[in-house]
């Protein structure tokens, strides 16, 4: 297993020359970044938009979810990645039912994609696959996720191999073949989570 993930790390490093970053600072407050779309898996009324935040890791703008829905998502629809990485800084601000921030990849549509998330209410990191609108658990791992603190969530994926890290520490290494081929990348929230995102990085 170690050799397999050493190989994926080497592969991702080699591909990182093709990486890109979105920090949302050139986007007008109240709008979505160009090339991004937002929606929800399930039901609800999520509200995704760029807002200002004086605590943002870079600049002053962040992408923020302030509505509510089963699983709100916002993806960079004009990007398509099969093997690569996605990383984001996020801050779980508040939420009575949940306080979660996540990333999605191999996103085919609002009902089919992978998602990894960290949860400030549960203090854990989780990996899921979503098919036909249903979220299915691959693995949960306990991890410290204090609210109102910026964290870095990163996923590396190649073939069936997936590695999830939070704040530089690897929490999940898994293999899963349920969703294959290229798809969009983006960010994710849950229920009434009010969550901010910044410095969205991805590469293939």
**Which residues fall within 8 angstroms of residue 118, CB to CB, at 6 or more apart?**
90, 92, 100, 101, 102, 124, 125, 126, 143, 145, 151, 153, 166
The enclosing domain of 104 has a CATH number of 2.60.120.560
Over the stretch 126-182, which tens digit does the pLDDT of each residue have? Answer: 999 999 999 999 999 999 999 999 999 999 999 999 999 999 999 999 999 999 999
Residue 17, judged by CB atoms within 10 A of its CB (0-12, 13-18, 19+), counts as exposed
Considering its fold, how many domains does the chain have in total?
A: 1
Which residues contact residue 10 at a Cβ distance below 8 angstroms, ignoring those fewer than 6 apart?
none
- d(CA 36, CA 12) in angstroms, rounded, equals 24
- Cα separation, 153 vs 86, in Å, equals 8
Cα(190)–Cα(68) distance, rounded to whole angstroms? 8
Torsion of CA 104, 108, 110, 112, to 10 degrees: -80
Residue 108 has pLDDT above 60, yes or no: yes
Domain enclosing residue 162, as ranges? 2-203
Q: Quick check: 25 and 49 in contact, CB under 8 A?
A: no
Task: Identify each DSSP E strand in 82-150 by its residue range.
Answer: 84-94, 100-109, 112-119, 124-131, 134-142
pLDDT of 1 > 70? The answer is: no
Phi, psi (deg, nearest 5) at residue 139: -165, 145
pTM of the model: 0.91
């Amino acid at each position: 297993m170690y050799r397999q993930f050493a190989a994926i790390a080497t592969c991702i490093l080699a591909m990182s020359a093709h990486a890109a970053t979105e920090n949302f600072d050139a986007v007008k407050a109240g709008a979505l970044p160009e090339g991004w779309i937002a929606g929800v898996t399930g039901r609800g009324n999520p509200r995704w938009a760029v807002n200002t935040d004086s605590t943002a890791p870079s600049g002053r703008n962040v992408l923020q979810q302030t509505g509510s829905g089963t699983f709100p998502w916002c993806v960079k629809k004009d990007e398509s990645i099969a093997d690569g990485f996605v990383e984001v800084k996020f801050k779980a601000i508040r939420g009575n039912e949940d306080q979660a921030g996540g990333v999605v990849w191999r996103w085919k549509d609002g009902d089919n994609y992978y998602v990894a998330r960290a949860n400030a209410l549960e203090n854990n990191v989780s990996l899921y696959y979503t098919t036909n609108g249903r979220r299915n658990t691959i693995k949960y791992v306990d991890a410290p996720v204090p609210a109102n603190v910026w964290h870095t969530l990163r996923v590396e994926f190649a073939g069936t191999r997936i590695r999830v890290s939070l704040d530089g520490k690897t929490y999940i290494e898994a293999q899963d073949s349920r969703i294959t081929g290229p798809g969009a990348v983006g960010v994710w929230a849950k229920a009434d989570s009010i969550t901010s995102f910044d410095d969205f990085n991805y590469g293939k």
